[in-house]
Amino acid sequence: MRQLSGLVRPGNGRFFFTLLKFILPCVLILFVFLCSRLPGMAEAYIGHCYPVIAAVLSSVSCRFPFSLFDVLIIVAAVVFIGSIVLMFMRKLSFIRWLKAVVASILWLVSWFYMSWGIAYFRPGFHERFGVEQPVEDAACFEALVCRYIDSLNKSYVAEPDLDIDEIDSAVETSYEKLSRQLRIPYPCGKRRPKSSVIEGLMTRAGVSGFFSPFFNEEHLNYFQLPVSYPFSSAHEKAHQFGIASESECNLYASIICCSSEHPLTRYSGYLETVWYLLKNLRKIAPDKYSETVRKVDSRIIDDYRKISERWQEALNPTLSSVQNKVYDSYLKTNRQQSGILSYSEMTVLLVAWETLQNSDNINR
């Protein structure tokens, strides 16, 4: 009896509670730190462990029509404010409050990285696909832009209606079809596009969507025009497949949408891709920019104008600037050296992708 009572004395329970509360998340964060220094370890984790985690988390979150991330934020805010009130009422000591806050932060950080964030530390696109950084060639790039403009003009869809389920199915079909080529672990769980309670804030900040690792959820801003929606959806789904880089997600969205048989999805892919290409052409060959833009169908130019006006009407410059600076710092903290500018780096990856495809075709 004495031996049994010794095993369950209060001290043992306190030790295991401390282990769970502080030591375990610290061990997980140490593992994350190692992954940040060893890209091979990060790649192995994303390739083998992450698909299982994504399947588990998304199988839970997809059962709910609302965002579990929203619920997490609301509950955390209520508990945090409530704990401060209790502390001022002297029903909670400052030491206990501080311990709870530290433990919560440790668990949230470890949850974020173990559930997806380690993807920030995997090798980049060029290393994973074994393709060299393309040499800047203005003439070749101009030819690429003209080719995409020609495809854009042919894919034009007039005044499309947005069927969310139809778009989601089209994007998923392309991902399944190209999963081996893109080297992604399809199906990697389930992807159910959701709205967020902060959609109004997203709109004023100019955000079209975001991916939440905590419950493996894809969030889209339904304020955007139908012609932009498919590309945004494909971009956020790329994140869900373990792609952290914003430029890579833009590349994947371009490949997925442009290869789709669904008219609006294909048009959205070329529309967004050409916008990035023209933006880069203006830097590489400014003397060719005006001439090249004139090749775009006037109806498509009108769509670009509508997209710009749509966001400008709702955009809050101050909020957008703050959001950009915060997200820029967040990306740089997670080894995305270009920060928010990495979105536009998709064109460099697209050139590398085109080179890789041409090389594969020659080898065949």
- Does residue 9 surpass a pLDDT of 80? no
Q: Give dist(CA 83, CA 62) in Å, integer.
A: 31
pLDDT at 125: 94
Query: Do 64 and 153 sit in the same domain of this protein?
Result: no
Least confident of 77-86, 129-138, 317-326: 317-326
Are both 323 and 208 inside the same structural domain?
yes
* Pair 211, 188 in one domain: yes
Interval 196-251: pLDDT, tens? 999 999 999 999 999 999 999 999 999 999 999 999 999 999 999 999 999 999 99
Q: Kindly state the percentage of the chain with pLDDT values over 70.
A: 88
**Does one domain contain both 59 and 164?**
no
| pLDDT for residue 6 is more than 50 | no
Q: Which of 88, 121, 154 is the last residue of a domain?
A: 121
Average pLDDT, the chain: 90
Same domain, 116 and 140: no
User: Greater confidence, 153 or 340?
Assistant: 153
152 and 263, same domain (yes or no): yes
Same domain? For 336 and 250 the reply is yes
Instruction: Please tell me the pTM assigned to this model.
Output: 0.91
Q: Give the per-residue pLDDT at 134.
A: 78
Nearest CA among 327, 57, 345, 317 for reference residue 210: 327
Mean pLDDT of 40-62: 97
- Statement to judge: residues 48 and 160 lie in one domain: no
* pLDDT higher at 16 or 31: 31
> Where in the sequence is the domain holding 104, given as residue range(s)?
2-121
φ, ψ for residue 70, nearest 5 deg: -60, -45
Provide the pLDDT for residue 137: 85
Residue 81: pLDDT over 60: yes
What is the reported pLDDT for 46?
A: 98
**Is the pLDDT reported for residue 95 higher than 50?**
yes
**Residue range 312-339: average pLDDT?**
72
- Together in a domain, 240 and 349: yes
**Predicted pLDDT of residue 263:** 98
Residues 277 and 133 reside in one and the same domain? yes
- Model pLDDT, residue 36: 95
pLDDT of residue 363: 54
pLDDT exceeds 50 at position 4: no
Last residue of a domain, one of 121, 153, 184: 121
* Burial call 134-162: b when 16+ CB within 10 Å, e when fewer: beeeeeebbebbbebbebbeebbbeebee
pLDDT digits (tens, 9 = 90+) for 347-362: 989 999 998 887 665 4
- Please report, as a single letter, which amino acid is at residue 74: I
Q: Are residues 105 and 146 in the same domain?
A: no
CA 3-5-10 angle, 5° bins: 130
User: Rounded to a whole number, what is the distance in angstroms from the first to the last CA of the chain?
Assistant: 76
The share of the chain scoring above pLDDT 90, in percent, equals: 76
In the chain, how many domains are there? 2
74 shares its domain with 133? no
How confident is the model over 262-295, as pLDDT tens digits? 999 999 999 999 999 999 999 888 999 999 999 9
pLDDT average, residue stretch 134-145: 88
